[in-house]
Amino acid sequence: MHPSRSSYNNDLSNIQEKVIRGHRLDFEDGIRLFESPDILLIGKLANIVRERINKNKVYYVINRHINYSNICKNKCKFCAFRREDGEDGAYQMSINEILEKASQIIQEKATELHIVGGLHPELGIDFYVDMISSIHKRFPEVHLQAFTAVEISHFAEISGTTTYDILKKLKEAGLGSLPGGGAEVFSTAIRKELCPEKLSGEEWLNTMRIAHRLGLRSNATMLYGHIENNEDRINHLLKLRELQDETGGFLSFIPLAFHPENTDLENIFNTAGILDLKMLAIGRLMLDNFDHIKAFWIMLGIKISQISLSFGVDDIDGTVAEEKITHSAGAETPEALTVDNIVSLIEETGREPVERDTLYNHTNLQMKN
Protein backbone atom coordinates (compact mmCIF):
# COMPACT_ATOMS: atom_id res chain seq x y z
CA MET A 1 0.00 0.00 0.00
CA HIS A 2 1.19 3.53 -0.82
CA PRO A 3 2.47 5.16 2.41
CA SER A 4 0.71 8.47 1.73
CA ARG A 5 -2.66 6.85 1.11
CA SER A 6 -5.28 8.56 3.26
CA SER A 7 -7.67 6.90 5.63
CA TYR A 8 -10.55 6.85 3.12
CA ASN A 9 -12.15 3.43 2.86
CA ASN A 10 -11.09 1.65 -0.31
CA ASP A 11 -14.02 -0.74 -0.56
CA LEU A 12 -16.06 0.36 -3.59
CA SER A 13 -19.11 -1.85 -2.97
CA ASN A 14 -21.43 0.93 -1.80
CA ILE A 15 -20.29 3.11 -4.72
CA GLN A 16 -21.09 0.19 -7.03
CA GLU A 17 -24.52 -0.04 -5.43
CA LYS A 18 -25.14 3.70 -5.94
CA VAL A 19 -24.06 3.53 -9.60
CA ILE A 20 -26.29 0.55 -10.32
CA ARG A 21 -29.26 2.28 -8.67
CA GLY A 22 -28.50 5.56 -10.48
CA HIS A 23 -27.85 7.47 -7.25
CA ARG A 24 -25.60 10.52 -7.15
CA LEU A 25 -22.01 10.11 -5.87
CA ASP A 26 -20.66 12.52 -3.27
CA PHE A 27 -17.26 14.08 -2.51
CA GLU A 28 -16.05 11.15 -0.42
CA ASP A 29 -17.06 8.65 -3.12
CA GLY A 30 -15.00 10.63 -5.63
CA ILE A 31 -11.93 10.58 -3.40
CA ARG A 32 -12.32 6.85 -2.80
CA LEU A 33 -12.50 6.23 -6.53
CA PHE A 34 -9.27 8.19 -7.08
CA GLU A 35 -7.54 6.33 -4.25
CA SER A 36 -8.69 2.90 -5.35
CA PRO A 37 -6.21 0.79 -7.32
CA ASP A 38 -9.15 -1.15 -8.83
CA ILE A 39 -9.02 0.48 -12.27
CA LEU A 40 -11.05 -2.30 -13.88
CA LEU A 41 -13.95 -1.90 -11.45
CA ILE A 42 -13.86 1.90 -11.87
CA GLY A 43 -13.91 1.42 -15.65
CA LYS A 44 -16.74 -1.10 -15.43
CA LEU A 45 -18.87 1.28 -13.35
CA ALA A 46 -18.16 4.20 -15.70
CA ASN A 47 -19.06 1.95 -18.63
CA ILE A 48 -22.44 1.15 -17.05
CA VAL A 49 -23.26 4.87 -16.92
CA ARG A 50 -21.82 5.50 -20.39
CA GLU A 51 -23.92 2.75 -21.96
CA ARG A 52 -27.00 3.83 -20.02
CA ILE A 53 -26.75 7.31 -21.58
CA ASN A 54 -25.07 6.70 -24.94
CA LYS A 55 -25.54 2.98 -25.62
CA ASN A 56 -22.83 1.70 -27.96
CA LYS A 57 -22.35 5.00 -29.78
CA VAL A 58 -19.12 6.96 -30.10
CA TYR A 59 -19.48 10.51 -31.40
CA TYR A 60 -17.03 12.41 -33.52
CA VAL A 61 -17.14 15.72 -35.36
CA ILE A 62 -15.45 16.92 -38.52
CA ASN A 63 -13.82 20.11 -37.34
CA ARG A 64 -10.83 22.39 -37.61
CA HIS A 65 -9.03 24.30 -34.89
CA ILE A 66 -7.88 27.85 -35.53
CA ASN A 67 -5.56 29.40 -32.95
CA TYR A 68 -5.69 32.99 -34.20
CA SER A 69 -2.87 34.32 -31.99
CA ASN A 70 -0.36 33.13 -29.40
CA ILE A 71 0.27 36.63 -28.03
CA CYS A 72 -1.00 36.63 -24.47
CA LYS A 73 -0.67 39.01 -21.54
CA ASN A 74 -1.10 36.17 -19.03
CA LYS A 75 1.87 34.03 -18.07
CA CYS A 76 0.33 30.68 -17.10
CA LYS A 77 3.03 28.27 -15.95
CA PHE A 78 1.52 25.31 -17.79
CA CYS A 79 1.42 27.04 -21.17
CA ALA A 80 4.06 26.52 -23.87
CA PHE A 81 1.98 28.24 -26.54
CA ARG A 82 2.03 31.88 -25.38
CA ARG A 83 4.48 34.52 -26.57
CA GLU A 84 5.06 38.16 -25.67
CA ASP A 85 4.12 40.64 -28.38
CA GLY A 86 7.25 41.06 -30.55
CA GLU A 87 8.96 37.92 -29.20
CA ASP A 88 10.38 35.36 -31.63
CA GLY A 89 7.57 33.06 -32.79
CA ALA A 90 4.77 35.45 -31.76
CA TYR A 91 1.96 35.63 -34.33
CA GLN A 92 -1.40 37.30 -34.84
CA MET A 93 -3.53 36.24 -37.80
CA SER A 94 -5.41 38.89 -39.76
CA ILE A 95 -9.13 38.40 -40.50
CA ASN A 96 -8.16 37.50 -44.10
CA GLU A 97 -5.71 34.85 -42.91
CA ILE A 98 -8.36 33.45 -40.57
CA LEU A 99 -10.86 33.35 -43.45
CA GLU A 100 -8.29 31.62 -45.64
CA LYS A 101 -7.71 28.99 -42.95
CA ALA A 102 -11.47 28.64 -42.43
CA SER A 103 -12.01 28.09 -46.16
CA GLN A 104 -10.13 24.81 -45.92
CA ILE A 105 -13.14 23.41 -44.06
CA ILE A 106 -15.02 23.30 -47.35
CA GLN A 107 -12.69 20.61 -48.74
CA GLU A 108 -12.81 18.80 -45.40
CA LYS A 109 -16.63 18.91 -45.13
CA ALA A 110 -16.22 20.22 -41.59
CA THR A 111 -19.25 21.34 -39.63
CA GLU A 112 -17.39 23.09 -36.80
CA LEU A 113 -14.63 25.65 -36.35
CA HIS A 114 -12.99 25.69 -32.91
CA ILE A 115 -11.39 29.13 -32.51
CA VAL A 116 -9.30 30.20 -29.50
CA GLY A 117 -6.26 32.38 -28.87
CA GLY A 118 -4.25 34.35 -26.33
CA LEU A 119 -5.26 37.58 -24.58
CA HIS A 120 -3.73 40.22 -26.81
CA PRO A 121 -2.75 43.27 -24.75
CA GLU A 122 -3.81 45.84 -27.38
CA LEU A 123 -6.46 44.48 -29.76
CA GLY A 124 -9.96 45.84 -29.23
CA ILE A 125 -13.30 44.04 -29.23
CA ASP A 126 -14.10 45.04 -32.84
CA PHE A 127 -11.45 42.63 -34.10
CA TYR A 128 -13.13 39.66 -32.39
CA VAL A 129 -16.65 40.65 -33.44
CA ASP A 130 -15.43 41.18 -37.04
CA MET A 131 -13.72 37.80 -36.97
CA ILE A 132 -16.93 36.01 -36.00
CA SER A 133 -19.21 37.98 -38.33
CA SER A 134 -16.86 37.61 -41.33
CA ILE A 135 -16.55 33.85 -40.89
CA HIS A 136 -20.26 33.50 -40.22
CA LYS A 137 -21.21 35.51 -43.32
CA ARG A 138 -18.88 33.48 -45.53
CA PHE A 139 -19.71 30.06 -44.01
CA PRO A 140 -23.17 30.42 -42.45
CA GLU A 141 -23.71 26.68 -42.19
CA VAL A 142 -20.58 26.12 -40.09
CA HIS A 143 -20.91 26.15 -36.30
CA LEU A 144 -18.49 28.59 -34.68
CA GLN A 145 -17.34 27.32 -31.29
CA ALA A 146 -15.10 30.15 -30.23
CA PHE A 147 -13.47 31.95 -27.29
CA THR A 148 -12.98 30.40 -23.89
CA ALA A 149 -14.50 32.01 -20.80
CA VAL A 150 -11.04 33.54 -20.26
CA GLU A 151 -11.18 35.38 -23.59
CA ILE A 152 -14.80 36.47 -23.03
CA SER A 153 -13.94 37.93 -19.64
CA HIS A 154 -10.91 39.71 -21.20
CA PHE A 155 -13.12 41.18 -23.96
CA ALA A 156 -15.51 42.53 -21.31
CA GLU A 157 -12.59 44.08 -19.45
CA ILE A 158 -11.00 45.76 -22.49
CA SER A 159 -14.29 47.17 -23.69
CA GLY A 160 -15.46 48.32 -20.27
CA THR A 161 -18.72 46.42 -20.57
CA THR A 162 -20.36 43.34 -19.10
CA THR A 163 -19.86 39.68 -19.95
CA TYR A 164 -23.54 39.56 -20.86
CA ASP A 165 -23.17 42.37 -23.42
CA ILE A 166 -20.06 40.80 -24.97
CA LEU A 167 -21.69 37.41 -25.31
CA LYS A 168 -24.86 38.95 -26.74
CA LYS A 169 -22.85 40.90 -29.32
CA LEU A 170 -20.83 37.83 -30.32
CA LYS A 171 -23.96 35.70 -30.51
CA GLU A 172 -25.58 38.25 -32.81
CA ALA A 173 -22.42 38.17 -34.96
CA GLY A 174 -22.70 34.38 -35.36
CA LEU A 175 -21.05 32.76 -32.34
CA GLY A 176 -22.57 29.28 -31.89
CA SER A 177 -21.14 28.02 -28.60
CA LEU A 178 -18.14 28.25 -26.27
CA PRO A 179 -15.32 25.73 -25.95
CA GLY A 180 -14.46 24.49 -22.46
CA GLY A 181 -10.91 25.80 -22.07
CA GLY A 182 -9.47 27.98 -19.35
CA ALA A 183 -11.16 26.17 -16.47
CA GLU A 184 -7.82 24.61 -15.41
CA VAL A 185 -8.53 23.64 -11.77
CA PHE A 186 -10.94 25.87 -9.86
CA SER A 187 -9.01 25.76 -6.56
CA THR A 188 -7.90 29.30 -5.62
CA ALA A 189 -4.59 28.05 -4.19
CA ILE A 190 -3.72 26.11 -7.36
CA ARG A 191 -4.67 29.02 -9.62
CA LYS A 192 -2.52 31.36 -7.51
CA GLU A 193 0.43 29.10 -8.19
CA LEU A 194 -0.28 28.19 -11.84
CA CYS A 195 -2.04 31.15 -13.40
CA PRO A 196 -2.37 34.08 -10.99
CA GLU A 197 -3.43 36.61 -13.66
CA LYS A 198 -6.22 34.43 -14.98
CA LEU A 199 -9.88 34.90 -14.03
CA SER A 200 -10.92 33.00 -10.88
CA GLY A 201 -12.75 29.68 -10.91
CA GLU A 202 -15.93 31.46 -9.80
CA GLU A 203 -15.56 33.96 -12.67
CA TRP A 204 -15.09 31.10 -15.17
CA LEU A 205 -18.26 29.46 -13.87
CA ASN A 206 -20.17 32.72 -13.90
CA THR A 207 -19.17 33.43 -17.51
CA MET A 208 -20.54 30.00 -18.45
CA ARG A 209 -23.70 30.66 -16.41
CA ILE A 210 -24.32 33.87 -18.39
CA ALA A 211 -23.57 32.13 -21.72
CA HIS A 212 -26.00 29.32 -20.90
CA ARG A 213 -28.71 31.82 -19.93
CA LEU A 214 -28.23 33.49 -23.31
CA GLY A 215 -28.78 30.13 -25.00
CA LEU A 216 -25.10 29.56 -25.81
CA ARG A 217 -24.10 26.00 -24.92
CA SER A 218 -20.52 25.25 -23.88
CA ASN A 219 -18.07 22.55 -22.96
CA ALA A 220 -16.21 22.17 -19.68
CA THR A 221 -12.60 21.11 -19.15
CA MET A 222 -10.18 20.41 -16.33
CA LEU A 223 -6.40 20.49 -16.70
CA TYR A 224 -4.96 17.64 -14.61
CA GLY A 225 -1.65 15.97 -13.92
CA HIS A 226 0.32 19.01 -12.63
CA ILE A 227 0.22 20.20 -8.99
CA GLU A 228 -3.42 19.48 -8.13
CA ASN A 229 -4.50 16.73 -5.73
CA ASN A 230 -7.54 14.44 -5.62
CA GLU A 231 -9.54 16.88 -3.47
CA ASP A 232 -8.93 19.66 -6.03
CA ARG A 233 -10.10 17.34 -8.82
CA ILE A 234 -13.30 16.28 -7.09
CA ASN A 235 -14.12 19.83 -5.99
CA HIS A 236 -13.73 20.92 -9.60
CA LEU A 237 -16.12 18.22 -10.82
CA LEU A 238 -18.66 19.07 -8.12
CA LYS A 239 -18.66 22.76 -9.12
CA LEU A 240 -19.31 21.76 -12.74
CA ARG A 241 -22.09 19.42 -11.66
CA GLU A 242 -23.69 22.15 -9.56
CA LEU A 243 -23.73 24.61 -12.46
CA GLN A 244 -25.05 21.95 -14.79
CA ASP A 245 -27.92 21.29 -12.35
CA GLU A 246 -28.71 24.99 -12.56
CA THR A 247 -28.43 25.62 -16.34
CA GLY A 248 -28.18 22.31 -18.22
CA GLY A 249 -25.95 24.19 -20.66
CA PHE A 250 -22.81 22.04 -20.72
CA LEU A 251 -22.49 19.72 -23.69
CA SER A 252 -19.49 17.68 -22.63
CA PHE A 253 -16.68 17.34 -20.10
CA ILE A 254 -13.13 17.05 -21.41
CA PRO A 255 -10.29 16.30 -18.98
CA LEU A 256 -7.06 17.76 -20.44
CA ALA A 257 -3.85 15.85 -19.69
CA PHE A 258 -1.02 18.22 -18.78
CA HIS A 259 1.94 18.21 -21.21
CA PRO A 260 5.04 19.64 -19.50
CA GLU A 261 7.55 20.21 -22.34
CA ASN A 262 8.63 23.84 -22.89
CA THR A 263 6.56 25.00 -19.89
CA ASP A 264 7.64 26.36 -16.49
CA LEU A 265 6.67 22.97 -15.02
CA GLU A 266 9.03 20.88 -17.10
CA ASN A 267 10.10 18.88 -14.04
CA ILE A 268 6.66 17.23 -13.89
CA PHE A 269 6.23 13.94 -15.76
CA ASN A 270 3.62 13.40 -18.45
CA THR A 271 0.43 11.88 -17.06
CA ALA A 272 0.33 8.09 -16.64
CA GLY A 273 -2.21 6.07 -18.61
CA ILE A 274 -3.85 4.98 -15.37
CA LEU A 275 -4.45 8.59 -14.33
CA ASP A 276 -5.84 9.44 -17.78
CA LEU A 277 -8.33 6.56 -17.56
CA LYS A 278 -9.28 7.38 -13.96
CA MET A 279 -9.89 11.05 -14.80
CA LEU A 280 -12.23 10.09 -17.64
CA ALA A 281 -14.02 7.33 -15.74
CA ILE A 282 -14.41 9.33 -12.52
CA GLY A 283 -15.57 12.31 -14.60
CA ARG A 284 -18.25 10.03 -16.07
CA LEU A 285 -19.28 8.78 -12.62
CA MET A 286 -19.37 12.15 -10.82
CA LEU A 287 -20.95 14.19 -13.65
CA ASP A 288 -24.24 12.33 -13.74
CA ASN A 289 -25.95 15.33 -15.39
CA PHE A 290 -23.51 15.56 -18.35
CA ASP A 291 -24.48 13.67 -21.49
CA HIS A 292 -21.00 13.39 -22.92
CA ILE A 293 -17.44 12.70 -21.76
CA LYS A 294 -14.88 13.50 -24.41
CA ALA A 295 -11.42 12.00 -24.87
CA PHE A 296 -9.40 14.66 -26.73
CA TRP A 297 -7.21 12.18 -28.64
CA ILE A 298 -4.64 14.91 -29.41
CA MET A 299 -3.70 15.05 -25.72
CA LEU A 300 -4.35 11.43 -24.72
CA GLY A 301 -2.92 9.62 -27.71
CA ILE A 302 -4.85 7.26 -29.91
CA LYS A 303 -4.24 4.13 -27.81
CA ILE A 304 -5.54 5.54 -24.51
CA SER A 305 -8.42 7.18 -26.36
CA GLN A 306 -9.47 3.81 -27.78
CA ILE A 307 -9.33 2.12 -24.37
CA SER A 308 -11.20 5.06 -22.82
CA LEU A 309 -14.27 4.08 -24.87
CA SER A 310 -14.74 1.29 -22.29
CA PHE A 311 -13.98 3.66 -19.38
CA GLY A 312 -16.86 6.11 -19.63
CA VAL A 313 -16.01 8.00 -22.82
CA ASP A 314 -18.53 8.36 -25.66
CA ASP A 315 -16.93 11.15 -27.71
CA ILE A 316 -13.55 11.28 -29.39
CA ASP A 317 -13.69 14.94 -30.55
CA GLY A 318 -12.75 15.33 -34.16
CA THR A 319 -10.47 15.59 -37.12
CA VAL A 320 -9.04 18.79 -35.53
CA ALA A 321 -6.70 19.61 -38.44
CA GLU A 322 -3.94 21.67 -36.85
CA GLU A 323 -3.52 21.86 -33.10
CA LYS A 324 -0.95 24.19 -31.62
CA ILE A 325 -1.48 24.40 -27.84
CA THR A 326 -0.53 20.82 -26.89
CA HIS A 327 1.93 20.44 -29.74
CA SER A 328 3.90 23.44 -28.39
CA ALA A 329 4.10 21.44 -25.14
CA GLY A 330 5.52 18.24 -26.63
CA ALA A 331 2.46 16.27 -27.79
CA GLU A 332 3.59 13.45 -30.06
CA THR A 333 0.20 12.72 -31.59
CA PRO A 334 -0.52 13.76 -35.20
CA GLU A 335 -2.08 17.23 -35.59
CA ALA A 336 -5.04 15.79 -37.49
CA LEU A 337 -6.88 12.54 -38.22
CA THR A 338 -8.96 11.76 -41.28
CA VAL A 339 -12.57 10.65 -40.92
CA ASP A 340 -11.51 7.17 -42.06
CA ASN A 341 -8.87 7.07 -39.28
CA ILE A 342 -11.45 8.08 -36.67
CA VAL A 343 -14.10 5.68 -37.90
CA SER A 344 -11.70 2.73 -37.90
CA LEU A 345 -10.25 3.55 -34.49
CA ILE A 346 -13.81 3.51 -33.13
CA GLU A 347 -14.85 0.37 -35.04
CA GLU A 348 -11.79 -1.50 -33.76
CA THR A 349 -13.29 -1.19 -30.25
CA GLY A 350 -16.60 -2.77 -31.32
CA ARG A 351 -18.47 0.51 -30.90
CA GLU A 352 -20.66 2.36 -33.39
CA PRO A 353 -19.18 5.58 -34.87
CA VAL A 354 -21.70 8.43 -35.15
CA GLU A 355 -20.85 11.69 -36.83
CA ARG A 356 -22.32 14.56 -34.85
CA ASP A 357 -22.45 18.31 -35.16
CA THR A 358 -21.31 20.56 -32.29
CA LEU A 359 -24.68 20.41 -30.53
CA TYR A 360 -24.96 16.62 -30.89
CA ASN A 361 -27.92 17.10 -33.21
CA HIS A 362 -27.62 13.55 -34.48
CA THR A 363 -28.34 12.23 -31.00
CA ASN A 364 -31.37 11.82 -28.76
CA LEU A 365 -30.58 14.51 -26.24
CA GLN A 366 -31.68 13.82 -22.69
CA MET A 367 -30.72 17.28 -21.46
CA LYS A 368 -32.97 20.24 -20.82
CA ASN A 369 -32.34 22.91 -23.45
Span 241-260, contacts to ligand V47 by CB under 6 A:
254, 256, 258-259
Beta bridge partners of 177: 145, 217
Contact status, residue 34 vs residue 278, Cβ threshold 8 Å: yes
Strand, helix or coil for residue 63: strand
184 binds ligand V47 (CB under 6 A): yes
Minimum distance from residue 252 beta carbon to ligand V47 (Å): 7
156 binds ligand V47 (CB under 6 A): no
Minimum distance from residue 11 beta carbon to ligand V47 (Å): 34
Minimum distance from residue 100 beta carbon to ligand V47 (Å): 23
176 binds ligand V47 (CB under 6 A): no
Helix (H) or strand (E) holding 346: helix 339-347
Q: Tally the C-alpha atoms within 13 A of residue 1's C-alpha that lie toward its C-beta.
A: 10
> Among 263, 270, 308, 333, which residue sits at the site for ligand V47 (rule: CB under 6 A)?
263
Span 90-149, contacts to ligand V47 by CB under 6 A:
148
Minimum distance from residue 298 beta carbon to ligand V47 (Å): 7
Minimum distance from residue 201 beta carbon to ligand V47 (Å): 13
Contact status, residue 182 vs residue 204, Cβ threshold 8 Å: yes
- Residue 49 to residue 282: CA distance in whole angstroms: 11
Minimum distance from residue 37 beta carbon to ligand V47 (Å): 25
Go through the chain and tell me how many residues it has: 369
305 binds ligand V47 (CB under 6 A): no
Stretch that binds ligand V47, among 30-38, 187-195, 218-226, 276-284 (CB under 6 A): 218-226
Q: Which of 202, 207, 282 lies closest to 250, judged by CA?
A: 207
For residue 54, give every residue at least 6 positions away whose Cβ sits within 8 Å of its Cβ, in sequence order, or none: 291, 292, 314, 363
- Residue 269 to residue 349: CA distance in whole angstroms: 29
In the bound state with ligand V47, the residue whose beta carbon lies nearer, of 163 and 333, is 333
Q: Which of 180, 182, 204, 205 lies closest to 195, judged by CA?
A: 182
Helix (H) or strand (E) holding 67: strand 63-67
> Among 80, 105, 199, 346, which residue sits at the site for ligand V47 (rule: CB under 6 A)?
80
329 binds ligand V47 (CB under 6 A): yes
> Among 12, 15, 72, 79, which residue sits at the site for ligand V47 (rule: CB under 6 A)?
79
Chain residues in the site for ligand V47 (CB under 6 A):
78-80, 148, 179-182, 184, 219, 221, 223, 254, 256, 258-259, 263, 296, 299, 317, 325-326, 329
